[in-house]
Amino acid sequence: MTGRPDPAAVSPDHRGLDGATARRRYVTVSFLFWFPIGMSVATGVLLFTERGMGLAAVAAFYAVHSLTASAAELPTGGLSDVLGRRPVLAVAGLLNLGAFSLIGLGAAGWAIALGMGLMGLARALSSGPAEAWYVDTVQAHAGPDADLRTGLARGSSATSAALALGTLLGGGLPWVLGLAPDLGEWLADATGGLVIPLSVPALLGALVEIVFVLYVVSSLPEPPRPRTTVRQVVGGVPAAIAAGLRLGARDILIRRVLLTASAAGAALAAVELLTPGRAAALMGTAESGALVFAGLACAGFLCSALGSQLAPLVARFAGGSERAVPASLGLTVLGLALLGMTAHTMSALATTVAVAGYGLVYLGLGAAGPNENDLLHRRVDASGRATALSVQSLSMQLVAAGAGLGAGALPPGPLPWLLAATAVLAGALLWVRRVAPAKPLPYVAPVKPLLDAAPRTDVETPAKPLPYAVPAKPLLDAAPRTDVETPVNVPNPLC
């Protein structure tokens, strides 16, 4: 008895997509969404300063992005569970299309700020629907015990690869255009100064967003949902938010996933804030330091992609996802410690050790993510999956914002790095004791306003363990216990 349904009985709502096809489409969507964002990584600050903006204004633009993404994270997760994955993901692509157009062409501060706000809203909209669509489709075809980890790992690898390739292309294009000075001047003259070499990556990103939207609309089928009115949607989203906030309170495993995501946010904030300055100090100038950082960021994304690919192997060797999470996070702790120990010296040996530490940070986070999300998806059902992912993303972003401010206020040296390492170590220690497995609990709050369903009373924790979840799993997982509160259901890229 495999638990795998007869292919002939596959739900027509998913148009008979098998696991391999769903996995390929999920990987493609992940790549197309993050590739244009990668192109903006290397040129964003330089483009804004070239437009005449001061550093304070540039910092404000990025604050607009972060605050918008954080404020919209939970509402948009609930919106995906109410309206569907495909429409919300398509809207995210359209918002990014407008954002990259404004950033690439905007010469006024208000236009850039609006573009960054739209990008933050798109980030919030996109944080759960694609992954939720993939899990829904695979489980509809192969049952609740279907293998999720391989697809999640490949999707995470595609995200990292898109960021790496996008960073290289975005940093290289302006340099190539600068080899022919007349071409840059011609672009500026022909467009009245709207298009300059540094704005080309953003405009190319806008073109990629068109491809992304068309692919989402044509390639991500999902079951039809009840017809909704504006009033029903407005009523359903707050219910989804409330249910999402209750996830961590009801389930110890979900709490571990959320707290581990917060620890990862602290690590990423320290790395992204402190590494550019170290690169500039090493090279002697900001321009050459920016070039080195672009290459280093690309290498980090590739390490993350490698870690994601290795996530299933790590889980098999560790004995499950719950054990794979702390094992993977151990690499991140080691990497942060190496960066901290070499913070006061720029010798060749110290630089080599620091680069190795940088790679270990991303390798560990990349390996932990798919295992963590595999655990999460086995704790929540389809009606609340995107909301759970949004809560997870919100946990990471909020802690990253606070950790970045804290790291910036501390004196330069080992201390900021070691504090980040301590945060990740605390997240890893959460997984020392395992949690008793449980089947996903119904997650009906977001659906109730739409279906006018009677209150559910059958939400008791099932006793039957999931065959796949008994082992342990990292960036997020743990072993059967009887002395912990009853677990519930719950189901993590990067940049």
Q: What is the pLDDT of residues 445-460, one digit of tens each?
A: 443 433 333 444 444 4
Cα angle for residues 364, 277, 31 (degrees, 5° grid): 45
Question: Residue 357, class by beta-carbon neighbours within 10 Å (0-12 exposed, 13-18 middle, 19+ buried)?
Answer: buried
Are 25 and 220 in contact, with CB atoms under 8 Å apart? yes
The pLDDT value given to residue 125: 86
Question: What Å distances lie between residue 277 and 129, 209, 465, CA to CA?
Answer: 35, 32, 49
DSSP string, 282-325: HHSSHHHHHHHHHHHHHHHHHHHHHHHHHHHHHHHHHTSHHHHH
Alpha helices in 84-199 (DSSP H): 85-105, 109-126, 129-142, 149-178, 181-190
As given in the structure block, the two tokens for residue 2 are 């495999």
Q: What are phi and psi of 301, to 5 degrees?
A: -65, -40
Our measurement of the distance from residue 90's CA atom to the centroid of its chain's CA atoms, rounded to an integer in Å, reads 17
Joined tokens for residue 443: 């997650």
In Å, how far from its chain's centre is CA 318? 24
CB under 8 Å to 484, separation ≥6 — which residues? Answer: 252, 433, 435, 436
**What sign does the dihedral 63-64-69-74 (CA atoms) show?**
positive
Residue 294: how many CA atoms within 13 Å on its side-chain side?
A: 25
User: Which residue is associated with the tokens 């994304």?
Assistant: 301
What pLDDT does 2 receive?
Answer: 37
Residue 287 CB burial class (10 angstroms; 0-12, 13-18, ≥19): exposed
Which residues, given as ranges, of the chain have pLDDT below 70? 1-16, 55, 59, 74-78, 81, 181, 184, 225-245, 247-249, 285-290, 382-384, 386, 435-495
Q: What's the angle, vertex CA 255, arms to CA 458 and CA 398, rounded to 5?
A: 125
| Number of neighbouring beta carbons within 10 Å of residue 494 | 20
Cα–Cα dist 12/8, whole Å: 10
198 vs 53, 277, 405, CA distance in Å?
A: 14, 21, 28
Q: What is the pLDDT of residue 383?
A: 65
Phi, psi of 170 (to 5 degrees): -65, -35
Query: In this structure, are residues 379 and 254 in contact, taking their beta carbons and an 8 Å threshold?
Result: yes
Q: d(Cα 272, Cα 222) in Å, to the nearest integer?
A: 37
